Amino acid sequence: MPYDGAVVLLTGLPSSGKSTLARQAHERLLLAGRPAEVLDGDEVRRQFWPELTLSSADRSANLARIAALAALLARNGVLVLAAAIAPYSDDRKAMRVLLEGSGFRFHEVHVATPLEVCIERDVKGLYARHRRGEISKLTGVDAVYEVPAAPELTIDTSRMSVEDSVSVLLKGALGNAFEPAADR
């Protein structure tokens, strides 16, 4: 395998910037010739297991399946950027255990944009729909987000440009993951 597989989990509130960071990092990685994939929690659910709902149990199942999919890609040398709210510590821990136990580097990145900024961005209109009473159990509002206790990296996208955030992500969280295994 020319590259070592690795997995980065971007976890945080809705509209915190997870997907944006993942996509931009992905673009830079591909430009650098580094095999990489984004697994976006919502998209992956829709494409692969649309039966899963947003209940607590199904959110856990979604992250567990994303972890299994990430392992399948990582063992083929892919750097996986998983962007998912992933609100529960235990689920994130299980993901780490699976991936580190399989010999891959795993980096938990807390996209710690403050709730007020997330509400203002409201990319998918979720906060607005919640305000109108159309949805409930919105993470960060009336559903718990268990803040990561010891993430490898914390990024507050309200205090840094997307470009800088991506640089921090790629340098801080991935280290030498750019380089072919043989060159290290």
Binding interface with its own copies (CB under 8 A): 1-2, 35, 37, 47-49, 51-52, 65, 68-69, 72-73, 76-78
> Given the complex with its own copies, which of 60 and 158 has the nearer CB atom?
60
- What span, in angstroms and rounded, lies between the C-alpha atoms of 70 and 64? 10
Min CB(1)–its own copies separation in Å: 7
Task: Report the nearest approach of its own copies to the CB of residue 73 (Å).
Answer: 7
Closer to its own copies by Cβ: residue 49 or 121: 49
CB of 80 to its own copies, least distance (A): 10
- The nearest distance, CB 98 to its own copies, in angstroms, is 12
> Toward its own copies, which CB reaches closer, 73 or 169?
73
Question: Closest CB to its own copies among 65 and 129?
Answer: 65
